């Protein structure tokens, strides 16, 4: 999973989203230690201050917690992680359905299309 | 910091001069040999080769002096006011230190060039008695000076040496001041430098003329003059030393002020 | 703490042409700032003034509270837009040169970066390509533990891979005590590395803002905003 940023949105919000993705997908496992701000910033090729801001926000909403001397860790609260996972998924679905309706498909057609494509993908 | 600057300055310029000096001395040795051979041998081939060798020797001497002049100007112009100036002027050193470095290095090479040339002449004319002859000549000259002017010959040599050094410093700093003046312009910097050089030259000549006129006016008092006839050359040399000391200071101040306050790197 | 760079009504005129007029600017330590603007907007002039290569016609420029001079030169690390090294030296000799004059120069860091870029320290600068020379200069500048880094077009003539390396070096070098000012045209490439941007136009400050604020308020990238503000 690489770091990809859109140019017209603040970077730190995109960082928050992408770190959340890594947490919910299990790439950063619960309870594990996060790399230092500087290493993460270098990995993502972003300003360390911006990365710091993103991490601070994640700390705020509880996905990360900080141990004063040893750095930042992913929360062990699996329920919270699942909740975030669901929220992200729901957002994706909502925006997808929105797009599909803009194209002219109603919900039923959309669901039918999803099922057939999913069947294709599992072959 | 001055020491460090000097170290790098000498390193940068030694690459040009040392090979020249080496080849000069080598040719001096070669020519010495040829002179001895020529004395005993009249073969045409050898005459031609030795002729070429002597020509090469003279050519190298001329090259040394041309290069000394050229390098002196070019180091100041290129290293301080070209692209390298972006490095030199952002080093944590005083502007004055950069100027003095270039001045001392230039003077050093001039002096060394003269010494090496003299050395090469000694080598060419080397015979078993050469050092004794030189010392004898020096003593004779020194005695003559003492007789005519009433001061120790060696003191005279020392003062003359200082006067020459001071004149050298003034000449070099005059070039630097001219280049510094020229670089203030946005265009035609070299032209500006030439113009400044001519202007400085003219001013100095006017001042010298004024001094000479005043000095001549004083000379009208012949009685006192006859009493102190012997000290006049001495006074003249000391006068030259102070004159150049003053102008060295003036040109240094001009260069330093311009480069500190009106630096105009491209 | 003192801002590391401060301009108060800073003005620079060449004869009758103004290069900078009444610039008021403050740059704090720990920030990476982009100095952006079209050609002739005064970016290089501002950087030269900060380095003491030019003297102001009016107003003042302060580095850590002092006028540009020997003390500020010790804490400012400058990468000019041109090759400014003595051609005859080898890379190693240039490192020794920097070590001689700058007490905060770290040779080990420099050698490490050279090795990473496969540059042989024994090569003479004369024999290096332009791109490699520029990398060497950048390495020298970033190997100093300075309080202010002034980089004039650091990614200009370099290939994309080297560009990434340079940006990563800047990020990795980051420390809260120092500020980095990057003057460049290639905005899109460095946007994500910047904290704040300063737009210069016709010698005046057109805009000072943080990157995230611009993206949030204007809904476009810095690159996009720049094109809009400076449309020909």
Q: Which parts of chain A sit beneath pLDDT 70? A: none
CA B141 from centroid of its chain's CA atoms? 24
The reply to whether B266 touches chain C by the CB within 8 Å rule is no
pLDDT at B220: 54
pLDDT at B168: 94
pLDDT at C230: 79
Q: In this complex, do C174 and A12 lie within 8 Å of one another by their Cβ atoms? A: no
Q: In this complex, do A47 and C224 lie within 8 Å of one another by their Cβ atoms? A: no
- CB neighbour list of residue A80: distance below 8 Å, 6 or more residues apart: A62, A63
- Candidates C32, C213, C219; nearest CB to A47: C32
C31 Cα to chain B: minimum distance (Å): 23
Domain ranges, ordered by start, for chain C? 5-229
Mutation for testing the B interface, residue in C77, C80, C87, C152 having most B CBs under 10 Å? C80
Chain B residues inside the 8 Å CB shell of C51: 89-90
Q: Are C86 and B84 in contact (CB under 8 A)?
A: yes
Crossing angle of helices B44-74 and B95-124, rounded to 10°: 170
Cα first-last separation, chain B? 26
CA A85 – CA A77 distance, rounded (Å): 13
Asked whether the predicted pLDDT for residue C216 surpasses 90, the reply is no
Band (B200; pLDDT cuts 50, 70, 90): very high
Band (B41; pLDDT cuts 50, 70, 90): low
The reply to whether A41 touches chain C by the CB within 8 Å rule is yes
Got the DSSP string for A40-74? HHHHHT--HHHHHHHHHHHHHTTSEEEETTTEEEE
B74 Cα to chain C: minimum distance (Å): 14
Architecture of the C5-229 domain: 3-Layer(aba) Sandwich (3.40)
Q: Are C109 and C143 in contact (CB under 8 A)?
A: yes
Q: Does domain A11-76 have CATH number 1.10.10.10?
A: yes
Highest mean pLDDT among B47-51, B213-217, B241-245, C188-192: B241-245
Least confident of B154-158, C34-38, C119-123: B154-158
Burial of C152 (0-12, 13-18, 19+ CB in 10 A): buried
CA C50 – CA C56 distance, rounded (Å): 10
pTM over 0.90: no
Q: In this complex, do C220 and A7 lie within 8 Å of one another by their Cβ atoms? A: yes
Asked whether the predicted pLDDT for residue B230 surpasses 70, the reply is no
Phi, psi of B224 (to 5 degrees): -60, -35
Q: In this complex, do A48 and C224 lie within 8 Å of one another by their Cβ atoms? A: no
Q: Which ranges of C69-201 does DSSP label H, i.e. alpha helix?
A: 70-75, 91-101, 107-116, 130-142, 160-172, 187-190
Dihedral, CA of residue B211, residue B215, residue B217 and residue B222, to nearest 10? 180
C2-15: per-residue pLDDT in tens? 899 999 999 998 87
Tell me how far CA of residue B102 lies from CA of A58, B86, B106, B203, in angstroms: 60, 16, 6, 24
pLDDT at B229: 63
Q: What is the ipTM score, two decimals?
A: 0.91
Q: What is the mean pLDDT of residues B41-45?
A: 71
Residue of A nearest to C219 (CA): A8
Is the Cα torsion angle C16, C18, C148, B265 positive or negative in sign? Answer: negative
The reply to whether A50 touches chain C by the CB within 8 Å rule is yes
- CB neighbour list of residue B200: distance below 8 Å, 6 or more residues apart: B174, B177, B178, B251
pLDDT at C174: 85
CA B47 – CA B237 distance, rounded (Å): 45
pLDDT at B160: 87
């Amino acid at each position: 999973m690489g770091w990809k940023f859109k140019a017209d949105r603040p970077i730190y919000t995109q960082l928050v989203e992408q770190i959340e993705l890594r947490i919910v997908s299990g790439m950063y496992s619960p309870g594990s230690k996060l790399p230092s701000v500087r290493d993460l910033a270098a990995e993502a090729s972003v300003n360390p201050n911006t990365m710091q801001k993103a991490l601070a926000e994640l700390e705020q909403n509880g996905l990360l917690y900080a141990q004063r001397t040893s750095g930042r860790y992913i929360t062990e609260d699996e329920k919270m992680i699942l909740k975030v996972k669901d929220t992200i998924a729901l957002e994706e679905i909502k925006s997808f359905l929105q797009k599909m309706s803009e194209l002219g498909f109603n919900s039923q057609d959309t669901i039918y299309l999803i099922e057939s494509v999913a069947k294709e993908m599992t072959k | 910091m001055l020491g460090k600057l000097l170290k790098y300055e000498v390193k940068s310029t030694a690459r040009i001069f040392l090979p020249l000096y080496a080849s000069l001395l080598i040719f001096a040795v070669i020519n010495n040999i040829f002179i001895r051979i020529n004395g005993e041998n009249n073969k045409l081939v050898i005459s031609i080769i030795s002729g070429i060798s002597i020509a090469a020797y003279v050519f190298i001497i001329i090259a040394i002096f041309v290069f000394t002049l050229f390098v002196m100007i070019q180091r100041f112009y290129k290293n301080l006011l070209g692209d390298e100036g972006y490095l030199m002027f952002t080093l944590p050193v005083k502007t004055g230190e950069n100027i003095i470095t270039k001045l001392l290095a230039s003077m050093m090479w001039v002096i060394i060039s003269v010494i090496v040339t003299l050395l090469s002449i000694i080598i060419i004319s080397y015979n078993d008695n050469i050092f004794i002859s030189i010392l004898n000549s020096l003593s004779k000259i020194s005695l003559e000076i003492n007789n005519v002017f009433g001061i120790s010959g060696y003191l005279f040599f020392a003062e003359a040496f200082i006067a020459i050094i001071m004149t050298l410093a003034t000449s070099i700093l005059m070039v630097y001041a001219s280049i510094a003046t020229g670089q203030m312009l946005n265009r035609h910097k070299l032209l500006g430098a030439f113009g400044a050089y001519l202007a400085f030259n003219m001013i100095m000549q006017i001042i010298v003329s004024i001094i000479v006129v005043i000095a001549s006016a004083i000379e009208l008092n012949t009685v006192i003059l006859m009493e102190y006839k012997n000290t006049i050359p001495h006074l003249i040399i000391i006068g030259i030393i102070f004159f150049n000391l003053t102008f060295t200071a003036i040109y240094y101040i001009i260069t330093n002020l311009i480069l500190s306050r009106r630096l105009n790197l491209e | 703490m003192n801002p590391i760079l401060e301009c108060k009504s800073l003005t620079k005129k060449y004869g009758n042409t103004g290069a900078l007029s009444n610039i008021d600017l403050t740059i704090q330590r720990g920030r990476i700032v982009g100095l952006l603007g079209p050609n002739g907007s005064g970016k290089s002039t501002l950087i030269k003034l900060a380095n003491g290569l030019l003297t102001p016609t009016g107003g003042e420029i302060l580095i850590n509270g002092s006028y540009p001079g020997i003390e500020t030169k010790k804490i400012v690390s400058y990468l000019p837009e041109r090759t400014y090294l003595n051609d005859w030296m080898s890379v190693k000799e240039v490192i020794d040169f920097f070590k001689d004059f700058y007490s905060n120069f770290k040779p080990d860091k420099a050698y490490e970066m050279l090795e990473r870029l496969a540059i042989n320290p024994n090569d003479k600068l004369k024999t290096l390509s332009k791109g490699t020379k520029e990398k060497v200069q950048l390495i020298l500048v970033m190997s100093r533990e300075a309080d202010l880094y002034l980089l004039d077009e650091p990614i200009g003539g370099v290939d994309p891979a080297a560009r990434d390396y340079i940006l990563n070096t800047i990020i990795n070098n980051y420390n809260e005590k120092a500020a980095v000012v990057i003057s460049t045209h290639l905005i899109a490439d460095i946007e994500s590395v910047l904290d704040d941007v300063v737009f210069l136009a016709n010698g005046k400050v057109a805009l000072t803002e943080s990157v995230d604020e611009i993206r949030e308020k204007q809904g476009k990238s810095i690159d996009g905003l720049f094109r809009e503000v400076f449309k020909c």
